[in-house]
Amino acid sequence: MKNHTTYGAHLTLRIANIERRHALQGPHGVSDLLVDLIDRIGMRILAGPLTAEETGDPERRGWSSVAILYESHCAIHTYPELGEAFLDVFSCKTFPIAAITTLLTERFGEFAIVEQSLTDRGIHWGPNVEKELASWVLTRSGS
């Protein structure tokens, strides 16, 4: 998943036709899902999850939850009335995508992945990430 010339991998999923729409509702269910997903892929929470409800039109109504990880971040945005969700996992540590889809199946039942993207991020970073970060900081500070 991650090659030696990138910082990390960024997975985005849009899932639709979710069988168990009730699992997309409420702050506890959504944040618990995020915590379980983070644990399942072997990462650690630094802050969060922070979970909030978006009210309004049915196509925009739902719940969002985000966690800052020691390894980067993870977020989910749910739309119960549409039976859809967006998931975002970015990490400098490799992670098993199959573990994510297995957990989603356990929670949501049947669903369809209608969009999936796995992108290498930080392609300008060399294999020595600490050296590259130090160089980036110097550039940003004007030194």
- Active site residue ranges: 72, 77, 92
Half-sphere exposure of 66 (CA within 13 A, CB side): 7
CA distances from 92 to 24, 58, 59, 103 (A): 28, 35, 33, 21
Q: At residue 120, what are phi and psi to the nearest 5 degrees?
A: -75, 130
Q: Is 124 exposed, middle or buried (0-12, 13-18, 19+ CB in 10 A)?
A: exposed
CA pair distance 72, 119, nearest whole angstrom: 14
- The type of residue at 6 is T
CA distances from 61 to 6, 23, 52, 56, 142 (A): 36, 14, 11, 6, 44
